[in-house]
Amino acid sequence: MTSSDRPRSRGKLPARYAAVIMPLTLSLLMTFVVSAISTLKSLGPTPAFIATWPAAWAISWVVAFPTLLAVLPLVRRIVALVVEAPRPN
């Protein structure tokens, strides 16, 4: 049975999309938190925070996602230099 013959798990994307879904998820979560902290520090817990934060988050995500896609190969090489590869069983 080849991988194309196997039924996919219901509602899941094929494994080949992991290279895009991982940085997408990471960029969404990280920019959500970092933009919230930065905006809150600048404006304080005011109504202006609630009004400003979504736009700050969107702008930061638009920059972060393509940046992650671009630097991920470099990051993988750096990690490979400092982390020992797993031993085969």
3-state SS record for the chain: CCCCCCCCCCCCCCHHHHHHHHHHHHHHHHHHHHHHHHHHHHHCCCHHHHHHHHHHHHHHHHHHHHHHHHHHHHHHHHHHHHCCCCCCC
What are the tens digits of pLDDT across the range 13-52? Answer: 999 999 899 999 999 999 999 999 999 999 999 999 999 9
Length of the chain equals: 89
Rounded to whole angstroms, what are the CA distances from 83 to 22, 59, 70, 73, 88? 20, 33, 21, 15, 15
Report the pLDDT value the prediction gives residue 89, as an integer from 0 to 100. 79
pTM of the model: 0.74
CA distance 76 to 65: 16
Question: How much is the average pLDDT of 58-80?
Answer: 95
Average pLDDT for the chain = 90
